[in-house]
């Protein structure tokens, strides 16, 4: 199974996001912020319906959040931002396994700032 990101269940997002990660000093929690410029969900939402959440899907299952917001420019949707909060070290490890698979499938690399 190829790892996928979806905003509408059953419809893979084709746009590759920018992802920012933060983690607490003690490693117990963290936040991942995904930013999609001109995501393909805007093209398909007219026929498929509204964004229902943010779903990260791989062979282990689904990670999801409803913390999703759209940014508009001149009245037109331009960007989607999703925030995924990890509250335990286990959540962080699971998220990193998803990101490793998603990155490999989409030719992404990790850059530490």
What residues does each domain of the chain span? 4-106
Report the topology of domain 4-106. Elongation Factor Tu (Ef-tu); domain 3 (2.40.30)
Q: pTM for this structure?
A: 0.90
Read off the pLDDT of residues 32-54 as tens digits, 9 standing for 90 and up: 999 999 998 887 756 777 888 99
Q: How does the average pLDDT of the chain come out, rounded?
A: 91
The Cα–Cα gap between 69 and 39 comes to 12
Q: Are 25 and 47 in contact (CB under 8 A)?
A: no
pLDDT higher at 53 or 108: 53
Mean local confidence (pLDDT), 76-90: 93
- What pLDDT does 113 receive? 65
CA distances from 46 to 20, 65, 77 (A): 29, 22, 13
Q: Of residues 100 and 111, which shows the higher confidence score?
A: 100
């Amino acid at each position: 199974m190829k790892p996928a990101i979806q905003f509408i269940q059953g419809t893979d997002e084709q746009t590759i996001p920018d992802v920012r990660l933060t983690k607490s000093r003690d490693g117990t929690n963290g936040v991942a912020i995904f930013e999609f410029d001109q995501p393909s969900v805007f093209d398909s939402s007219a026929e498929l319906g509204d964004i229902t959440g943010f779903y990260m899907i791989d062979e282990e299952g689904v990670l999801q959040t409803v913390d999703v917001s759209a940014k508009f420019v001149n009245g037109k949707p331009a960007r989607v931002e999703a925030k995924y909060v990890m509250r335990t070290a286990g959540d962080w490890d699971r998220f990193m396994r998803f990101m490793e698979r998603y990155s490999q499938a989409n030719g992404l690399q990790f850059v530490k700032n």
